[in-house]
Amino acid sequence: MAKYRKLGRTSSQRKALLRNQVTALIANGKIVTTEAKAKEVRKIAEGLIALAIKEKDNFDTVTVTAKVPVKDSEGKRVKEVVDGKKVTKYESVEKEIKKDQPSRLHARRQMLKVLNPVKEVPSENAGKKKNTKDIDLVAKLFDEYAVKYADRKGGYTRIIKIGQRKGDAAMEVVLELV
């Protein structure tokens, strides 16, 4: 018996398909797909969520001082003349940041191995590059899903059958996070 479904594709196509579907599931919370694909995506997604839960508290908070440019009321950088040259004026700001411990860093890299980068485009700028922003799915796994499912011992996804597809009569399902 095979360890996984081949889904009628070559290995590179299959890996790309599963990565895309896992990324869509984590980003959106639910996807519509065939039953066989959903069962394969479920394995990967539940593994990622379990990894996030295991490593959710494995970080240190560190206070760091950073130089930040001073800005005027219009949002432009304030310049001052030093030795005949215009130089941007900076101020020191203290920030608290999360520094991953080695095991959490490894978990983060394992997740990045599976998840594709995702950009969020505002609806009024559809089709344009302006105001697009990258979504950090690894942070979403650690901050949202790990906290949400912390007291749960598996079973983070649900498969609901919605009927057969018209073209090829494949069983379609909704795969969603519980």
Residue type, 94: E
The C-alpha atoms of residue 101 and residue 42 are separated, in whole angstroms, by 28
Domain with CATH 3.90.1030.10 in the chain: 11-58+101-177
Q: What is the per-residue pLDDT across 67-81, written as a single tens digit (0 to 9) for each?
A: 999 999 888 999 988
Q: What is the per-residue pLDDT across 94-104, written as a single tens digit (0 to 9) for each?
A: 999 999 999 99
CATH topology of domain 11-58+101-177: 50s Ribosomal Protein L17; Chain: A, (3.90.1030)
* Predicted local distance difference test score (pLDDT) of residue 172: 97
β-strand partners of 94: 65
Q: What is the per-residue pLDDT across 37-53, written as a single tens digit (0 to 9) for each?
A: 999 999 999 999 999 99
* Predicted local distance difference test score (pLDDT) of residue 161: 98
* Predicted local distance difference test score (pLDDT) of residue 120: 87
Say if residues 18 and 40 touch (Cβ distance below 8 Å).
yes
Residue 1 banded pLDDT, cuts 50, 70, 90:
low
pLDDT at 137 > cutoff 80: yes
Q: Rounded to the nearest 10 degrees, how much is the dihedral formed by the CA atoms of 119, 120, 123, 128?
A: -30
Helix (H) or strand (E) holding 54: helix 35-54
Q: What is the per-residue pLDDT across 107-128, written as a single tens digit (0 to 9) for each?
A: 999 999 999 999 988 877 777 7
- Main-chain dihedrals φ then ψ at residue 132, nearest 5 degrees: -80, 150
β-strand partners of 160: 174
Per-position DSSP letters for 117-154, written without gaps between them: PEEE--GGGTT--TT-EEE-HHHHIIIIIHHHTTT--S
Q: What is the mean pLDDT of residues 54-73?
A: 93
Mean pLDDT of the chain: 93
Helix (H) or strand (E) holding 174: strand 171-177
